[in-house]
Structure 1
Amino acid sequence: MSNLFNSITDTVGNTPLVKINHVTEGLAADIYLKCEFFNPLASVKDRIGKAMIEAAAAAG
């Protein structure tokens, strides 16, 4: 996976998953956190904002 992007909008939605090991020690389950703060504006709202702008542009 590359960390180089052609545009800031290419980074939206490319947020990493991080496995939380110390919480699941001894359990039969894994817990992963989605790090939305890696988005350009540090928010999950970046995804919907980008989708709304793309939909508006496509609709004219």
Structure 2
Amino acid sequence: MNFDLPKKPVFTSRRMEQQWNRMQGVKMVRSGWRVGDVAKFFGVSDRAVFGWVATFGQLGQNGL
């Protein structure tokens, strides 16, 4: 699966960086990446990625 992440910006807070990573993970899953591969890419559990996708579906980007 080919997914080009945008250049990672410099963040002023850890929270902003986490939200950016989660949004990229959601985009990766929606573009066809397997949850396990996204989890490995970001160093988190499969369950965390499933949570990101579910939260995004319910609350949008601000929920991440």
Pairwise TM-score range, normalised by the shorter structure: 0.3 to 0.5
Structure with the higher fraction of residues in helix conformation:
2
TM-score, length of structure 2 as denominator length: 0.33
- Structure number with bigger Rg: 1
TM-score, length of structure 1 as denominator length: 0.34
